[in-house]
Structure 1
């Protein structure tokens, strides 16, 4: 009986002491976002439902490119890995405006201006752009980048 009680006590302590780890959230200042990112995926959707459209909007040679956001407000987009027929490397300026929107400009196949930052966990950045509405459903394109 003592062994059963001991086993149940240990099981209860283990269950009670285990808790789900909260999703990490990091500040989204220019200094915090600075770093080199890879495109993970592009999603399109509306009304809370998104579909992965990465292969529709990007060529294979674009999926390994790097976007470096510097804390001083400059960026470098590098056509890395498999180089596309036309080298898409570019440089420019980026910022976070007074409303908190991320503005990078035209990078590869995308216009990354006026993006709403959805989440940032210090390594994965998710941001989306509004593309109007169809009927009463807002259409959005969501970009996921990883440092």
Structure 2
């Protein structure tokens, strides 16, 4: 009986440890939690009836993949041409806002798919001739 009890106890400990190890660091979607500095990691597109594809290098030059997007608490958003310079313009600033789970940057709406301490995932929907294009942007947070 002692061996059975020990086995059950070990299994319970493994289950509890596994469950807590998988806890995600998701955050509530609030202005305070969105404020921060982000760098684009990937961009994918999904067209109705087709598989999702990675279009990061098709739409972004290597010098753009180290640029920073900074969301500030005063609702200004600044794009900084950090690292390898793409142009002579170092940065530009626009406004941003939050409406529920929709992040609006310079008038463009992005659905927030997920927000964590390390990652922000945005989704932009577009339609043309009854074809829906879903673009997903994944940002690393600093």
What is the TM-score normalised by the length of structure 2?
A: 0.81
Q: Give the C-alpha shift of residue 124 in structure 1.
A: 0.6
Listed as ranges, the matches of 1:59-98 within 5 Å are 59-87=61-89, 89-97=91-99
What is residue 44 of structure 1 aligned with on the other side?
Answer: 45
Q: Give the C-alpha shift of residue 101 in structure 1.
A: 1.4
1:125 aligned to which of 106, 116, 120: 120
Q: Give SS of 1:61's match.
A: helix
Listed as ranges, the matches of 1:2-41 within 5 Å are 8=7, 11-20=10-19, 21-41=22-42
Is the 1:44–1:139 Cα contact (8 Å) retained in structure 2? yes
Q: Give SS of 2:33's match.
A: helix
Q: Give the C-alpha shift of residue 134 in structure 1.
A: 6.2
What is residue 56 of structure 1 aligned with on the other side?
Answer: 58
The worse-fitting range, judged by mean Cα deviation, of 62-71 and 14-23 is: 14-23
Distance 1:14 1:62, change over 3 A: same
- Structure 1 spans left out of the alignment, 5+ residues: 106-111
What is residue 143 of structure 1 aligned with on the other side?
Answer: 137
- Structure 2 spans left out of the alignment, 5+ residues: none
- Which string of whole-angstrom CA distances, capped at 9 and with x for unpartnered residues, describes residues 53-95 of structure 1? 1100100110000111001101111101000135362011111
RMSD between aligned residues: 2.6
Distance 1:100 1:7, change over 3 A: closer
Is the 1:33–1:122 Cα contact (8 Å) retained in structure 2? no
Question: Are 1:116 and 2:111 matched, yes or no?
Answer: yes
Distance 1:133 1:22, change over 3 A: farther
CA distance in 2, matches of 1:101, 1:57: 23
What is the TM-score normalised by the length of structure 1?
A: 0.78
